[in-house]
Amino acid sequence: MIVDGQADFRSLLSHHITTHWSDAIISSYDPVAAGQLPAEFSGAGNDIILLGNQIGERDSLDALQQFVGRLGFPPVIFFGAEAEKSRALKLGAELFFPRDAIRHNALVVGMSDILKSHRASANTGSLFVGDDRAGIHPLIRGYTMIRKLSASSHSAVYLARKDSSAQQIVLKVLRQVPDVADSIGAFDRFLQEYELIADIDHPNIVRIYDLGVGDDHAHIAMEYLDAGDLKQRIAEGIRERDAVRYLQQIASALAEVHNVGILHRDLKPGNIMLRSDDTIALIDFGLAKRMRIAMEITGSGEIFGTPYYMSPEQGHGNGIDPRSDVYSLGIIFYEMLTGEKPYRGDSAMGIIYRHAQAPVPLLPASLSRYQALLNMMLAKRPEHRLGSAAEVARWL
């Protein structure tokens, strides 16, 4: 839970969290607009409280003292001025970070250590079916696990083999843990992820084979894409004609996604995979949002996604529509053509600022034929941008 009176700062912290924990469920509270938290606030249902020092008329260190003085209150990380550090730690803050100079890696490591420490003391055990810490993979009927590919706080991704056909597939597994309050929200979001893409049949969207739901876990079986991701391909260097071909395929996939009422919201090279035949497949809809989904499930007014590829409106926590995904696609196109990210900064907020204020990047003269398209994809204001991914494909 994030408590602070500045929307941009709450969005920045949300970005730091969701970049590392894509399944994180974040609640955000503005004590300036909504009033101070009541004296009986217990923090129940939260793993960590992130408390900023901008909370209106009340002294934030007094609020910190009230919170940590409660039995069973979650650990608190305090964000404030350097002069507040000593007192904040003495009052019981688990960690302190200077508000205007947050280092992403330090924050993630600190939060990870807190989570491990408190979950170990609570003896919650593994979040996955079986004891994953001991190397035992989930027991999913009909599949044999080969190896773990990745993991987050509520889900893990495995390379597996389907017993009936010996086909290699990817299994994404989530467990709903009793007495862990936010796992219910994560479970719902996991199932929504399947519902968002299961009915789409498009050559450039990952194929979904199966959904299984048990008493305390769910799994999605999907296509195994064995040729790496676009991030790796960009690092190796992409020929101009391949960059254009990839752009056409991604735009076509996005157009289909938008056509059924879905925003991706986290389009980046790491979420774009390649098959052995060098075709593109869009994956990882964990941040995708059906345009009509109730906001209480995914939260509102928060940053989701990755700042290097984030539209100005998304970066500032404003409302988004398909044009935001078009902007992200424009950033990816520039990077495919040049091998460079157009906007860089010393911090996430610095990059977000440049997306909103810096001019549209210029391509080298040899690639100038694509500048007009890039201008239309990367316009700062959505109303000046191409209105849909389908328009990108038509322009090409």
Long-range contacts of 162-167 (CB under 8 A, 24+ apart): 162/209, 162/221
Interatomic CA distance for residues 338 and 332, integer angstroms: 10
Interatomic CA distance for residues 24 and 305, integer angstroms: 12
In one letter, which amino acid is 207?
Answer: R
Marked catalytic residue, from 266, 278, 284, 325: 266
User: What does DSSP say about strands 262-263 and 289-290: parallel, antiparallel, or unpaired?
Assistant: antiparallel
Interatomic CA distance for residues 103 and 342, integer angstroms: 22
Tokens of 328: 């992200």
Q: Measured between alpha carbons, how far is residue 58 from residues 31, 98, 104, 180 in Å?
A: 9, 19, 28, 31
188 a catalytic residue: no
Interatomic CA distance for residues 120 and 152, integer angstroms: 16
SS3 at position 283: coil
In one letter, which amino acid is 291?
Answer: M
| Bridge partners of residue 175, in order along the sequence | 217
* CA pseudo-torsion sign 246, 249, 253, 258: positive
Q: Confirm if 44 and 71 have CB atoms less than 8 A apart.
A: no
Q: What is the DSSP string of 292-319?
A: TS-HHHH-SS---S-GGG--HHHHTT--
φ and ψ at residue 340, rounded to 5 degrees: -125, 150
Taken as a whole, the chain contains a residue count of 396
Q: Confirm if 191 and 229 have CB atoms less than 8 A apart.
A: no
Q: Confirm if 124 and 177 have CB atoms less than 8 A apart.
A: yes
Residues ≥6 apart with Cβ < 8 Å to 106: 97
Tokens of 105: 């890696």
User: What does DSSP say about strands 49-52 and 28-29: parallel, antiparallel, or unpaired?
Assistant: unpaired
Residues identified as active-site: 266
